[in-house]
Amino acid sequence: MISGELRSAQELTELLSGLPGAKSGYLSVLSKNLFLSLRVENRKVKGFYANLEFRKPVPSSLLLYALAELMLDTEGYFSFEPESAIEEFLPADEELEGLVIRATILRKELDELLPFVITPAATLRSKDEKLDGRTLAEILVSSEDPVTEARRLKKLFEEKLVSVARMEESGSVEEIGLDYVLEGVEYGKVNLFPIVDSLKAQGFTGFVEIEGESERAYVFFKGGKIFGVYPASVKLFDLFLNAFGNLKASVVKIKEEFVETFAQAFVGTPAVESEDRYASLGKLFLTLLTLKERGTVKIESPEGSFVFIFQDGKLLSAKRKDRWSENWRVLFEEPFRVYLYKEVRPQNVKPLFYLFLINKLLHLLRKHGLERERIKLVEFVARKPNLYLDGSYVNPSAPLSKEDEEELFNLLVSVSDSLVKHLGRTRFEEELENELSPYKDVFKILELPDALKLEG
């Protein structure tokens, strides 16, 4: 296997031109979010796969267009391997050298068209039925000669016989769909609870971000239902009460088909976590695309946080420095840390709620000197690898599973029983209500059961 980075169209051209004549194998290239794999035999392209979706494309034109798009601000990775896991190769029979020359010409023609259309995903308006209502990219990949068609379209634009009707997404230019509903509103100037209630009623999909000077929290929604929170810490409940001072709140939409995968970068358990020196991003990205595996990659670097979603052979990405935005960057300078999430985990709100209640009961154990019961609780925490004592709080050190949730509930009932026996039910309920009453709105927002009705 040969692999490496690409930082310019010139490097891509040199890679394609430099393949040995006797070499046969699969050349895979990723630039930004466009992926192309070529089956090469003796400097001929005999098949290809691109993560672009069009209705009834001409295969040779789709190949030419994909390669021309790779030549725009090239930045990414390549690999050359003897075998490939891809099964959906389209047939081709192209001399590699001639293909590179024609793709370079098409790239030039596209660059001259961009001032008129901004993006190949632009839908055109024309009296010509073959052009009207179709995107520039669709027209080119369905033509027999994309270069000639691009030149014809340029002339039509110059003569004002064609115009842009609207912008749309097409193929790999699809985006996560980040859209700020509210941005950076000071927590003290807005009541977040009715806002979140409204989001739930509207079937909102996306997340609420609460940001302070040194902390940040997220609440994830899908179809108006909360399915995850970050951080997985009992201190999250206090954060909702503005316990940390100067906070800002933002509400951000995400497309429904991507929100759960995106959220794993916050609520999931990484299958792989590594420093940059031990990780090959190129191999990781190309493998996920080749196998069409679903997964989430998060990269933390001095330049910000980057989240990559791999789904059905597509790559979508978002970045956050001062705010969230779409991202097309895949190359990073050291240092960085990479996390790979493979499983889409269910919501993590309920076990965190149980843990929050256990902490309140722990406070009551200390308050009333129930040392034996307190020691039993601490011993339980010590036996659990994903729990730890953080000062006076019991906190999770890793996302909690369904099994953890059941164990925490049983512990909650057991500790409640001990307190009821010592205090009596009426006094226990009164003291627990005093502990929890400030959080009633928080429980309501997070769709949690009524804590005050817990039976010991």
Domain borders along the chain are: 1-174, 179-341, 349-453
Tokens of 404: 């953890």
- What is the pLDDT, as a whole number, of residue 449? 62
Kindly provide the b/e burial profile for residues 260-279, where b requires at least 16 CB atoms within 10 angstroms of the residue's own CB.
bbbbbbbbbbbeeeeebeeb
- Hey, CA dihedral for 405, 411, 413, 415, is it positive or negative? negative
Question: How many angstroms separate the CA atoms of 350 and 302, rounded?
Answer: 33
pLDDT for the residue numbered 455: 44
Q: Within 10 Å of residue 321's Cβ, how many Cβ atoms?
A: 11
48, two tokens: 């290809």
Question: Is 47:39 a contact under the CB 8 Å cutoff?
Answer: yes
Residues 6+ apart with CB under 8 A from 111: 72
DSSP string, 100-126: HHHHHHHHHHHHHHHHHHSSTTEEEEE
pLDDT at 245: 58
Within 10 angstroms of residue 389's Cβ, the number of other Cβ atoms is: 12
Question: So what's the pLDDT on residue 236?
Answer: 83
Q: Are 192 and 442 in contact (CB under 8 A)?
A: no
Task: Give residue 450's pLDDT.
Answer: 55
Give the residue among 235, 304, 312, 230 at the shortest CA–CA distance from 268.
Answer: 230
Q: Using the 8-state DSSP alphabet, how is residue 188 labeled?
A: G
Q: CB 14: neighbour CB atoms within 10 A?
A: 12
pLDDT digit of tens for each residue in the chain (456 aa)? 789 999 999 999 999 988 877 689 999 999 999 999 999 998 999 999 999 999 899 999 999 999 999 999 999 999 999 999 999 999 999 999 999 999 999 999 999 999 999 989 899 999 999 999 999 999 999 999 999 999 999 999 999 999 999 876 544 445 788 999 999 988 777 777 888 889 999 999 999 998 877 788 899 999 999 888 888 888 888 877 764 557 888 999 999 999 999 999 998 889 999 999 888 999 999 999 999 999 999 999 999 999 999 988 999 999 999 899 999 899 998 899 999 999 877 667 888 899 999 999 999 999 999 999 999 999 999 999 989 988 788 999 887 878 888 999 999 999 999 999 999 999 999 999 999 999 988 888 787 865 445 544
DSSP-assigned letters across all residues of 34-76? EEEEEEEETTEEEEEEES---SS--HHHHHHHHHHHHTSS--E
CB neighbours of residue 420 within 10 Å = 16
Strand, coil or helix: what is 255? coil
Structure tokens at 356: 């929050």
Would you state the pLDDT for residue 242? 63
